[in-house]
Amino acid sequence: MTLIRGRTQIILFCVSAALAFHVLAVPLGPREATAGEPTALVPPTQEPSRPLSDGELEKINKTIADKGREIRLNREITTLLGVTKGDELLLSRGVAVKDEAGDVHEFEPLSDDKGYLILKLSPQLNTIYWVNKEFVLTAARSRVPGQPSEEIPIAEAQSGAAKELAYWAAFARE
């Protein structure tokens, strides 16, 4: 028997738990509640987990403070993403890391509580994600080097942004 690990295991657990809750919480037919009997099960409320914990974010911010560099962000891209307007110049202090495949990952906190820019740069494709302070994807663009950038619909960009945030979470745990 093959053991299921990681994200697949978590997904299967969540689906099983949701199914079990549905089966247990939904009555089989109409009936009246009797005295002393609960009328319905109420699921516990749980905050959605952030892709980066406070500790992971703190470690990334420390790395930026120690080893980061000032980055002058491209006005056209920041305007197209909606981070800036017109000729507004956005400066950021960020950090870039090259992975084993030679791709570069950048993490750039934005001023004025605007969130973060998360970039993945490769010879074939450059992708930039703008996430808010809670790491919810706000906008994304991609560009083949030498070509104009294109907007990526949020639904399509979700998995790429999640992978980049997972990369940074793993970076912070090292």
Residue 73 has a pLDDT of 79
Kindly report the backbone phi and psi dihedral angles of residue 156, in degrees, each rounded to the nearest multiple of 5, phi listed first.
Answer: -75, -30
**What would the two tokens of residue 15 be?**
């689906």
88-104: average pLDDT: 91
* pLDDT the model gives residue 41: 52
Banded pLDDT at 12 (limits 50, 70, 90): very low
Domain encompassing residue 74 = 54-173
Number of domains in the chain: 1
Using CA atoms, how far residue 111 sits from 102, 116, 159, in Å, is 29, 9, 25
Q: Are 77 and 89 in contact (CB under 8 A)?
A: no
The answer to whether residue 79 sits within a structural domain is yes
Residue 139 included in any domain: yes
Position 69 in a domain: yes
Distances in Å between the Cα of 164 and the Cα atoms of 84, 105, 114 are 22, 8, 18
The percentage of the chain sitting over the pLDDT mark of 90, rounded to a whole number, equals: 56
Q: Rounded CA gap, 120 and 106, in Å? A: 7
pLDDT at residue 22 greater than cutoff 60: no
Report yes or no on 110 lying in a domain: yes
| Within-domain flag for 62 | yes
- Residue 23 inside a domain? The answer is no
Residues 51-70 have pLDDT tens digits of 999 999 999 999 999 999 99
Residue 14 has pLDDT above 50, yes or no: no
| pLDDT for the residue numbered 111 | 86
Q: Give Dmax over CA atoms of the chain in angstroms.
A: 72
Instruction: Give CA–CA dist 57/55, Å, rounded.
Output: 5
65 within a domain of the structure (yes/no): yes
Residue 128's φ and ψ, nearest 5 degrees, are -130, 130
Is residue 34, in this structure, part of any structural domain at all?
no
pLDDT in tens, 101-123: 999 999 999 988 899 999 999 99
pLDDT averaged over every residue in the chain? 79
User: How many whole angstroms separate alpha carbon 57 and alpha carbon 172?
Assistant: 7
Averaged pLDDT, 29-57: 62
Q: Is the confidence at residue 77, as pLDDT, over 50?
A: yes
